[in-house]
Amino acid sequence: MVAAGRSNLDAVRTWVLDAAASVPQNASGEKMLTPIVQKGIGDVVEVVKTSNSQLNIIGASIRGLSEEYRALGDQKLGRTDPHADGTGKDGDKPEEPQNPYEKALRDAGLLKEPPTGYYKEWLDNAAKRNVPPEEIVKIAREQNITPQSFDVLNGMERVQDEDGKSFFLMPTNTSGEDARKAALMTYVLNCGTDYGKNPKTDFKETPYSAAEVQRIADRQEANSWSYDEDVNSVHEHGGRLMTTPNGMLMGLGGDQWQDVLSEGGGSTWGDIFMMNIDDFMMNIDDPADPAQSLRDVAASGLMWYPQPGGEGAPGILDLDRVLHHEERHSQQWQGRGYLGFIDAYATGKLVEIFTDHPLEKDAGLSDGGYE
């Protein structure tokens, strides 16, 4: 009976496969396939009834064959994977995401859909820099970061340095509020500044964390005037602005009024670091020059300086260090206020006759290129 049952099952299987192979591969063939599959399953049931006394022996084979027929029907009829909706093989649990950052965010109720775009890149950067998943969850929760939070970077031109850090060149019609958001999200996206990779720095690197993101957001709030007023002013006077991994803006170019706001290698006003190389290196009447120069500076990873021959060129000071120096100036603007900073810096110029400028020393003399 066992042998006969197996023989009958094999015969049914062979008939179903041969019949399925003979139908045309089109819509008409799919309709013809349905009764073939149904007849095959019906024949299996008859074999089971006939071989009832041996059911326990051949039951496993029968179940396997029935699944083959169902799978064949699913394939021909264009049905999807029964687990494609995210349920597990038992049908009761969704499959767990493999990425520990994605899993942590999902478990915290902060992520619903699979991560894509800059949001996914944020999680990838966190993994590369060994940021703990719980820190990413804390940042997302405290700053209300969703995949849509990175949309502010769309439409901005990304420039990457040799370390893979991202800078974003802003269109000239960018509002002050969008500039503020883009600066913060650039810091969030990069998951660090690489300041600590330099062999010599004036300070220890502050680790990427929820506390550091909040510190930058608080600094932006205190220096909001530089976004509300100066972003538009820079663009109106022919300059261009770019976000940086330090959560502040870097600018270049403009007319003579813009040049008044920068001295030496550059000056920071609130949250905007205006570099001072355009007088020597470019035609300020050409609006494309400041943008291209910012691309060159960011991509090089080095601070650029004016040259006597009329062109700018990269120096040896790492841009990460300069931006760290200038970001400390932004903190000074935050702490002293608008008039307080101007007064302290002007007083410091007198002190500088005899010793180091107090505010420059506080920002890091070596990082700023003063020694």
* Top-confidence residue, 25 or 269: 269
Please tell me the predicted confidence (pLDDT) of residue 2.
43
Instruction: Read off the pTM.
Output: 0.73
Rounded to 5 degrees, what are φ and ψ at 169? -80, 120
Q: Which two tokens stand for residue 241?
A: 């602005």
What is the DSSP annotation of 326-367?
HHHHHHHHHHHHHHHHHHHHHHHHHHTTTS--HHHHHH-TTT
* Top-confidence residue, 208 or 316: 208
Count the neighbouring beta carbons within 10 Å of the beta carbon of residue 149: 19
pLDDT band at 79 (very low <50, low <70, confident <90, very high): very low
What Å distances lie between residue 292 and 165, 171, 244, 274, 322, CA to CA? 18, 13, 16, 15, 20
Please tell me the predicted confidence (pLDDT) of residue 84.
45
What Å distances lie between residue 50 and 9, 45, 338, CA to CA? 12, 9, 94
Distance CA 311, CA 320 (A): 22
232, 249 Cβ separation under 8 angstroms: no
Give percent of the chain above pLDDT 90: 59
Count the neighbouring beta carbons within 10 Å of the beta carbon of residue 135: 20
Please say if the pLDDT value at position 109 is more than 50. yes
User: Highest mean pLDDT range out of 276-280, 282-286, 307-311, 359-363?
Assistant: 359-363
Mean pLDDT value across the chain: 82
Please tell me the predicted confidence (pLDDT) of residue 260.
60
Residue among 230, 227, 140 nearest 185 (CA): 140
